Every structure is written in structure tokens, then in C-alpha cells.
Amino acid sequence: MVIPIQPKHDFDQIRTFAREKAQQLVDKYPDKLTTQLAKEKRGNRVFLDYLRNAFGQTAVAPYSLRAIENAPVATPLDWSEISSLDNAQKYNLSNIFRRLAQKQDPWQNLYKKKNTTISL
């Protein structure tokens, strides 16, 4: 989940906001999403990593390949796709270009307008 925002809040405020939003999604889709840090507790659920919202943390860039079997791709999704997501490795080197040919990139206009209305 990525929400572009105005840079007026500190890391702790943003991490708290991100944790709360991630938990709301996990509560709504517990069979599909998780905030469990331990991989063995995640199963096939998508990990919502709110912990990247801290000073010095890094994140995987959109459309990055993972160096594991089947070469899964870090794929931006729109909200309507979350409920039908069957696993975190749905998109990979074999099918990502088909997806992009059929569907507009959900992040195409992501940074054109930053959100100024989030409630922290």
C-alpha cells in the first residue's frame, strides 16, 4: 500500500498511520493479507510491511524482480484487485507483461497529487 503524502509528518506518525491502515486491511481480508513479520506465520498471505516507514528503511521498487524461483515481480495493484489476489507471487516474469498490456499501471499517476487529508 502506497499513499503519497505531503512531507509534514515525522516517521513515527507515518509508521503509526501505516500500521493502523494495514491492520484495517488485514481485519477485512485475514485470509489474504497479514502484518506478520515471521515468514513461517504468513502462509500464502500478502505481507503488508508498514515497518518500511522509518528513518533509513528501504523498500522494493515497483516492478522489481525477486531472485527466487519463478521470478515474482513486485506489482502495484489497485484496491479492486486485493480481494481477488490469490497469493503474493501471482505476477512474475512470465506474466507481468501480459498484465501490463491488458491493464493500465495503477501507479501511473500516483505522484501527481499528494494526499494532504490523511488523519494521523
79-101 tens-digit pLDDT: 788 788 888 789 999 999 999 99
Classify the C-alpha dihedral 2-89-67-22 as positive or negative: positive
CATH class of 1-56: alpha beta
Residue 82 CA to its chain's centroid (Å): 10
**What residue type is assigned to position 7 of the chain?**
P
pTM of the predicted protein model: 0.62
Cβ of 88: how many Cβ atoms within 10 Å? Answer: 19
Cβ of 34: how many Cβ atoms within 10 Å? Answer: 21
Gap between the Cα atoms of 20 and 77, Å rounded: 20
Q: What is the pLDDT of residue 106?
A: 84
Residues (pLDDT < 70) of the chain are: 1, 113-120
Burial class (CB in 10 A: 0-12, 13-18, 19+), 91: buried
Gap between the Cα atoms of 70 and 21, Å rounded: 30
Instruction: Give the domain ranges of the chain.
Output: 1-56, 60-108
Q: What is the pLDDT of residue 115?
A: 61
